[in-house]
Amino acid sequence: MATAAAGGRRRRVLFFPLPYQGHINPMFQLAGLLHARGFSITVFHVRFNAPDASAHPAYDFVSVPDDGMPADSPDTVQATMDHIVSVNRACEAPFRERLAALLERQRARAEDVACLVADSHLLTLLGVARGLGVPTLALRLGSAACFRCLTAFPMLCDKGYLPVQESSQLDAPVVELPPYRIGDLPASSAAAHGQLREVLSRVVTAVTTSSGLILDTFDALEADELAALRRDLAVPVFDVGPLHKLSPAASSSLLRQDRGCLDWLDGQPPASVLYVSFGSLASVSASDLVETAWGIANSGRPFLWVLRPGLVRGAPPSSISLPDGFDAATRGRGVVVSWAPQEEVLAHPAVGGFWTHCGWNSTLEGVCAGVPMLCRPFFADQMGNARYVDHVWRTGVTIDGELQRGKVEAAISTLMGAGEPGAGMRRRALELKNSAAASIGEAGSSSVNVDMLVSLIQSM
């Protein structure tokens, strides 16, 4: 097993996550993995969504001022782009100053800085590090398929797939990039298309100008997509996922996880519970909340539902009210929490289905748990992830179009009912779970890639 010691000097790896839950978790998991291999860890972070340093006593933390960043979590493509642009802009000068100071201190210690691992959205900060002589690796949080889509983005625009002109085009196939349809591509409003193209092209540049691309995926899940990336990119590609299974790092959850729901799950029959969660950023309309609630209630199945503060647009963040009669209709059959220990919930034997927004972490966590998925994507890479779940891996169903309680009830029944097609989805989900476990076993593809990544970092 490759470890950090190189010529007796300890090596330090620096991290800079993008400040969202779905980006912070895998970066901490990767940090945990490298720490276990003997590297010292420093995490740079902005004040917005700052990680809890006390949960990681072995790491150093450096806070970088983020003056001018919007204070709210983004829940749309536009807001996310504005956030990403402003993190890069706000942090450039203070990060340079803090990194230079850290490098100065390190010279006096028996320790070298090996490299910076930064989120692939932080092109400016990766450039700052290289300017100070620090090698860089880009952690891209999304599937290999999605990254291929970003590299193909200019071609997709030139060929007229994007920006989308008419909603009638959404089902048309993207022939150069199967199995995507136009509606599965990351897209924005036509007015913001130029900005989206720029933001995505910066991600690709962040990767191609770094010393390597790290992806939280595994070969058996995306063999063709990874092979295509290796063929097309001049930098090495390290698929080291599923990181949450390889590296059970201390919690990096920004919200308090309600662990009581695990006790409730203990009392439920095997594979009986539908777990419902839309991640940390997506928001729903008040009417979609009502349709979701009645779809779940009418399905007659036990459920665990995450109603995160701020989930419902226009509702006060701290109090989400469910429709009249919902409590009575579901009494004794369901639990609602504001944030769950999702990885443990999904791994619980009582959970038999996962209604997800298809954020990449949730998708991968669902894959590793071997549960079939009900997909309801919102934005960014979520539509493409849903496409892979229902069309490529065939481990779930997607609810398209307007959300209606009848559609929800039917989808839950397909997913969790005894007959086909649900039984086939569950069988394939179990096969994928086993290949995820094999990828991180001895000589598994991701284990081998972790070793290669460690060797590369040692050589930097």
- Cβ atoms 159, 176 nearer than 8 A: yes
Cα-based angle 456, 42, 343 (whole degrees, multiple of 5): 85
Q: Is position 23 annotated as part of the catalytic site?
A: yes
279/370 with CB nearer ligand UDP: 279
268/342 with CB nearer ligand UDP: 342
- Cβ atoms 314, 330 nearer than 8 A: no
3-class secondary structure, 312: strand
* Interface ranges with ligand UDP (CB under 6 A): 20-22, 25, 253, 277, 279-282, 306, 339-340, 342-343, 359-362, 365
Least distance to ligand UDP, CB of residue 277, Å: 4
Nearest alpha carbon to residue 440 among 220, 287, 181: 220
- Cβ atoms 407, 399 nearer than 8 A: yes
Buried b (16+ CB within 10 A) or exposed e, 263-278: ebbeebeebbbbbbbb
66/343 with CB nearer ligand UDP: 343
Alpha carbon distance 386, 390 (integer Å):
6
Alpha carbon distance 363, 357 (integer Å):
8
Alpha carbon distance 316, 306 (integer Å):
16
Alpha carbon distance 100, 159 (integer Å):
44
**Which residues lie closer than 8 Å to 419 by C-beta, 6 or more apart?**
none
DSSP at 321: P
DSSP at 391: I
94/359 with CB nearer ligand UDP: 359
Parallel, antiparallel, or unpaired: how do β-strands 213-215 and 136-140 relate? parallel
Active-site residue, from 66, 75, 119, 184: 119
The amino acid present at 342, given as its one-letter code, is Q
251/413 with CB nearer ligand UDP: 251
Least distance to ligand UDP, CB of residue 117, Å: 18
Q: Give all strands (DSSP E) within 330-455, no chain letters.
A: 334-337, 351-356, 373-375, 396-398
Nearest alpha carbon to residue 355 among 401, 304, 391: 304
How many other CB atoms are found less than 10 A from the CB of residue 122? Answer: 29
66/365 with CB nearer ligand UDP: 365
188/458 with CB nearer ligand UDP: 188
Least distance to ligand UDP, CB of residue 4, Å: 27
The amino acid present at 46, given as its one-letter code, is V
Active-site residue, from 23, 45, 56, 121: 23
Alpha carbon distance 255, 339 (integer Å):
7
Nearest alpha carbon to residue 282 among 308, 301, 248: 308
Q: Is position 119 annotated as part of the catalytic site?
A: yes
Longest dimension (CA), the chain: 68
Catalytic residues: 23, 119
